[in-house]
A and B are shown apart, each in its own frame.
Chain A
Amino acid sequence: MYKIVDKKVLNDDIDFMRIEAPLVARNAKPGHFIILRVDDEGERIPLTIADNDEKHVDIIYQKMGYSTKMLGEKQIGDHVADFVGPLGKAAHIRDKQHVVGVAGGVGAAPLLPQLKAYKKAGSKVTLILGARNKDFLILRDEYEQFVDEVIYTTDDGSFGEKGLVTDPLERKLKDDETIDHVIAIGPVIMMKFCTQTAVKHGRSIDVSLNPIMIDGTGMCGNCRVNIAGKTFFACIDGPDFEGHEVDFDGLMKRQSYYKDEEHQCYIRLKDGR
């Protein structure tokens, strides 16, 4: 059992949690993820590590499905049944002059440690953070402490620019020749269009993939993704890949395989288990 030592509700959809998990914290690095099970009947849910100290690991999750909603019902002092990691390859912090980090919604959480690492390594960093509306723009304070430039977008124009993250990305890549790398983390469709934009302007781009997973150790093969025509396992070969090599359409299809079943679970949740 793993104790929840802190929790904050960031908005209607997104929570922050700090979990006591020394075995995960010991070797955790930016880009790593964890897998947790809320209880003994639970699914194994993969979540990227947002931050950690020697004993604790921070996660930020969107309550979009049955299992994350169950997690959201847990409070400080409660426990989750299982919490394992760090999984995946740590993010590859490249030698770059100016990096644009693009995040959509809860993607702001996994991007944070990566962008911080770039800043620490001496790169100039620009953040483009997008969400549905002002309430869903998370971690603004945390980012504003260190980024060199920040652009916010909202779908409804309630904060920052109205529109999608790809609009300011397109503009920045056109106007600022010092930018030599992009990282995009968010919904697959967002990462797909960010990749198209980066490729169009001749910039490299890293994306972070989140296919369905079970064990997270390379054992089951559920998380396979098509990278430059070859099959890789996101859990042990990723989760970060170079955007221009990723088959995003295939990933979206594989992510949606159990959507009817997810709906069944969701109905059960609404009916009170």
Chain B
Amino acid sequence: MAANKTPRTKMPEQDPLKRTSNFLEVALGYAVEDAKKEAIRCIDCKNPRCVQACPVSVKIPEFIKQIMNDDMDGAFDTIYEDNILPSICGRVCPQESQCEGACVLGIKGEPVSIGALERFVGDYGMEKNLADTSVDEEKPQKVAVVGSGPAGLANAASLRRRGYQVTVFEALHEYGGVLTYGIPEFRLPKEIVNKEIDNLKEMGVTFVKNAIIGKSITIEQLKEDGFEAIFVGSGAGLPSSLGIPGENYNGVYFANEFLTRVNLMRSNTFPSHATPIKVGGTVAVVGGGNVAMDAARTAKRIGAKDVMIIYRRDKDSLPARLEEIHHAEEEGIEMNLLYNPVEIYGADYEVKAVRCERMKLGEKDASGRRRPLPTGEYKTFDIDSIIIAIGQKPNPIIKQNTMGLDTHEWGGIITDEKHMTSLDGVFAGGDAVTGAATVILAMGTGKDAAGSMDEYLRNKA
């Protein structure tokens, strides 16, 4: 088992000092040699735990073996069968808690860099235009997909492959949902998102932008328009607030607003793009997830001198991907751990400081993490702006405008084991159902729901 002792093949990265002044991608990807070198580390388990840990069950050992055998085209086909967004997932999946977390090599050493390999194969296939956009026998039934984020895209691709006439409706002026408005360019270039979406267009999926289902067209009207099944993947577009005094001051951003201004509206290029943004010299970001890391690193790139993360638990509890935490630290983001904001101070309605209570960790709570407890000690940080990144809830528009659609009190759409909602023929998946989760989990439910929708439509026909 010599492979065990070989260290992981590192992916080249942009220098931290340089990259904080640009929006180019940080991780640069494997060269062919790197990929082959890393592929050899896989021991091709008989019962691959990595596949079980993947929400869309990519046949990981199979595609890795194909890399090893220099069959890159084959490797791409293998992945694309199960995952229509390999270049995206290779970049943004939390591999350490999924495939790589389950890798046997990780028990004694370092797991295979499955994410890096997936990215390599995805980019290779994109470059060579290898995506299989063929479609089974055409079926006449029309299907509507609400939202062009990961859940919607996976659902649309899966149904289109089965031959259905699929239309994706997007509320914003660009496609991709959170991939476009949420995840920054330096982590996921928009060119890649657009190319993956182009494959679906080539497959024959129709895309309609500037269409807000629930407002422009109601779910009821979609049915009247002849859509026989509907998938709602409207995402977690509703920011959670801290609920502390001062939250409406100028200079207080929800991460969604902050990231949307930069990612969707390109305010980092203001004034050539007309949407402005400003953060000042010192920025605090509240939260410890990927969105918080994205916001902190974006703030640095648009000119903030000092950027700090404020998080109420300890470092081990940070929910962000390890790579993002590592990159944030490399870029000089300060980690103020075990602090909980209690009040935002302002002058003339602009942010000046944030007062935080020092926390300590107590017993484990329902989430399995140790609960942060107040200590009665406080510290005030002087800041020019503050970005709140403590989570998102499902967007309420569809719920508010659809009679008979059952939701949880916190806003999540209720679905059965077949992903069907309380309305016949209306299915849902992704963050709209689970609350903010990951790209790949959303894709997983989108893909699964497509199977149920196929069954539903066959029974109906």
Contacts and interface: CB of A to CB of B under 8 A. Distances in A.
B216 A66 contact: no
- Interface size class of chain A, counting residues whose CB lies under 8 Å from the partner chain: 35 or more
A39 to B, nearest CB: 9
A86 B217 CA distance: 9
Interface stretch (B197-205, B233-241, B416-424, B447-455): B233-241
A55 B208 CA distance: 17
B219 to A, nearest CB: 12
Interface in B196-223: 208-212, 215-218, 221
B289 interface: no
Contacts of A37: 173
Scoring B173, B221, B348, B349 by chain A CB atoms within 10 A of each residue's CB, the highest score goes to: B173
A236 B400 contact: yes
A211 to B, nearest CB: 10
Contacts of B260: 214-215, 219-220
Nearest to B259: A220
A44 B257 contact: no
A23 B216 contact: yes
Contacts of A224: 248
Contacts of A264: 271, 276
Nearest to A233: B238
5 contacts: A24-B216, A84-B216, A214-B260, A261-B278, A265-B274
A27 to B, nearest CB: 7
Interface of B: 171-173, 181, 208-212, 215-218, 221, 237-239, 241, 247-248, 250-251, 254, 256-257, 260-261, 264-266, 270-276, 278, 348-349, 395-397, 400
A221 B172 CA distance: 15
Contacts, number: 119
Nearest to A222: B257
> What is the predominant secondary structure among interface residues of chain B facing chain A?
loop
Contacts of B276: 258, 261-262, 264-265
A26 interface: yes
A217 B397 contact: yes
B218 A221 contact: no
Interface stretch (A106-114, A136-144, A151-159, A249-257): A249-257
Interface of A: 23-24, 26-27, 37, 41-44, 66-67, 70, 81-87, 214-215, 217-222, 224, 226, 231, 236, 250, 253-254, 257-258, 261-262, 264-265, 268
Given A42-B274, A258-B276, A218 B237 contact: yes
A228 to B, nearest CB: 13
Contacts of B238: 218-219
A262 B171 CA distance: 26
Contacts of A66: 274
B273 A41 contact: yes
A162 to B, nearest CB: 34
Given A67-B274, A261-B271, A43 B241 contact: no
A68 to B, nearest CB: 11
B215 A85 contact: yes
A265 B272 CA distance: 9
